[in-house]
Structure 1
Amino acid sequence: MLLKKHLREYGLPYLMIMPTIVFLLLFAIYPLAWAFKYMFFDYDGFTQAKFIGMDNFVRLFTRDMEYWHSVWNTVVFTLGKLVIVIPLSLILAFILNNKLFAKNTIRAIIFMPTIISTAVISLVFYLMFNSYNGIINNMLMSIGLIHSPIEWLGVKYSMLTAILVAIWGAVGNYMVLFIAGLQGIPNDLYEAASIDGANKPQQFWHVTIPLLGPVLQMIVMLAIVNTLKSYESIMVLTAGGPGGKTEVMYLYIYKLFFPVSEGDAVVQQYGYGAAVGFTSALIVSVLTGLYLYISRKSSEVH
């Protein structure tokens, strides 16, 4: 009787959340359990899995220098993106939060890359940055800034190009979050600061920035996590090349599970890929936790 009464009262909510639970179990919990199992096996997806204990981790930490190079590339990519996209997003948000002609249209235009497929965006930029017939080189040569094509996707500039594409795709998202934070600051505080003699720059540094602290912490955390895990744009732009110059952690893992071509040095290795994926997840977790710890200590000091 109690069960029937409970189901009669809560049956509809259970039914409504059931698709989400099933989706979570099938596409999150099960893959995690599968990966946790096979990271202790030698398994390529075709032959029978062979238990090898910690050999995958021994290989990862002692012999696979290519992976650790990809970790370093990921850190460079993340720092390069963050030091530009966070200040740029804040500046755009501050400008577009004021009275400005067609500000809603400008906001929509800046935000639009966020809702466009990463693969499509990256393909467009790949064509634009093409060394020989790309629009960027053609434009720079036509106005006399350069005299020969620049290899934007070559060894020297490939990481910079990948960072610029990532910034273009993310700045609108963080801008909207900053605007939401700015709109939560009471105008009375700016009026009081103005009465005390503070000019606009002083109001920005002493009123806006401190009150945006919690929002800024959240945005930086999201940016760190998303950038550490991103690989789609780099896969389209350079496929990790040239010579591993733009190989990042999750692109390296992708190639272990789905080799880009038969000529790749990386072969399909599900067991080893699971071990690398687990290690990468730990790295992302540690870096995110370290940032949260530092930001919390900084907040306590101030």
Structure 2
Amino acid sequence: MSRRWKSYIEAHMFVAPSVILTMALGIYPILWALRYMFFDYRGYGEPQYIGFDNFTRLWHDHDLWMSIWNTLFYAAGKLVLTIPVALVLAVILNGKLRGRHVLRGIIFMPTIFSTAVMAVVFYIIFNSYNGLLNQLLRTIGLSGVEWLGAEYAMLTSILIAAWGGIGNYMLLFLAGLQGIPKEVYESAELDGAIGWRKFSYITIPMLGPILNIIMMIAIMNALDSYEAIMVLTGGGPVGKTQVMFLYLFKLLFPVATGESVTQDIGYGSAVAFFLSLLVGVLTGIYLYLTRKLNNIY
């Protein structure tokens, strides 16, 4: 019995640091925010209980709903660019291409860089006035483009996000491709399936499980991504690139983003709860649809 208790205590001692950190850095902040979403609290003074007024304000907050629309557009654009390109690159680099290992490393490299650092680099490249890209265009006799202006800022942000995410998803697709037995392709070739037929009738269906995982990861990353946009445009110009978690960050930490507005922890907590619920609903819808498609096919 003493030996069993000793094993029991040792096991819990190993688990304890993770549990304590999770409680301190995960669960406690959530409970703290759940409390303050019913208060008017600006970070100083005594919190004032206001019931559901923060949610009433949320419902009529035009900036919040615009940020949600921007996020959905940003996420859709990122997925449309990233997933197909990552799949095509994975198929190409899964073959017997010379130097494929070096190419894999080069394509994967952007995923290991800091998002903020890479955003600064791209800001230097895409700056509308003295950016490197516009300087190059003027050198060859073309006029500069306002890459971070109201018209192109969101598209530029999507391109940069896709560039940073392709390598990660390519690696996951490679893992899925290498898990497909070669015998399946050999049997298909004996039946006359080559090229596009082999890709559409064998590769895509057999990548179904890993594709579901990749899509889930990509959707979650796209919905909660804001760091690169914060460095590139700060949500501007005129809110054209204001995504929902950047809007939330500005409510809770206005000084960190250079905002002159007052910190609003109470309303920010209500917005955080609402956005978490929204992401959960969108994730649930995706899981429901994929389950339905799996049952059909």
| TM-score (norm. length: structure 1) | 0.95
State the SS of the aligned residue for 2:240: coil
Residue 262 (structure 1) shift? 9.2
Q: Partner residue of 1:285?
A: 280
Residue 192 of structure 1 corresponds to 187
Give 2:247's aligned residue: 252
Shift of 1:22: 1.3
DSSP-derived class of the 1:188 partner: helix
User: 2:10 — aligned with what?
Assistant: 12
CA distance in 1, matches of 2:190, 2:257: 70
Q: What do residues 192-226 of structure 1 show as CA deviations (whole Å, max 9, x unaligned)?
A: 11111111211100000000011111101110011
Contact 2:41/2:264, CA 8 A, preserved across alignment: yes
Q: For structure 1, list consecutive stretches of 5 or more residues without a partner in the other structure.
A: none
The Cα of 1:260 is off from its aligned counterpart by: 4.4
Q: What's the CA shift for 1:261?
A: 7.1
- In structure 1, the residue matched to 2:25 is 27
User: Over the residues paired in the alignment, what is the CA RMSD in angstroms?
Assistant: 1.5
Structure 2 equivalent of residue 40 of structure 1:
38
Equivalent residue for 2:175, pick from 170, 173, 180: 180
Partner residue, 2:98:
101
Matched, 1:118 2:126: no
C-alpha distance 162-221 of structure 1, shift in aligned 2 (>3 A): same
- The two structures have a TM-score, normalised by structure 2, of 0.96
Q: Secondary structure of the equivalent of 2:95?
A: coil
In 2, distance between residues paired with 1:265 and 1:291? 38
Kindly provide the amino acid, as one letter, of the partner of residue 22 in structure 2: L
Q: Distance in 1 between matches of 2:257 and 2:277?
A: 30
> Which amino acid in structure 2 is aligned with residue 28 of structure 1?
G
Alignment length, in residue pairs?
Answer: 297
| Partner AA of 1:162 in structure 2 | S
Superposed displacement of residue 35, structure 1: 0.5
Which stretch has the larger CA shift, 102-111 or 70-79?
A: 102-111
Q: Is 1:273 aligned to 2:271, yes or no?
A: no
Per-residue deviation, 1:14: 1.9
Moved more, 101-110 or 240-249: 101-110
Distance 1:266 1:280 in 2: 21
Name which of 64, 67, 70 aligns with 2:67: 70
CA shift at 1:264, angstroms?
A: 3.5
Q: Distance in 1 between matches of 2:258 and 2:27?
A: 33
Structure 1 residues 245 and 262: alpha-carbon distance in aligned structure 2, compared to 1, 3 A threshold: closer
Aligned residue number for residue 58 of structure 1: 56
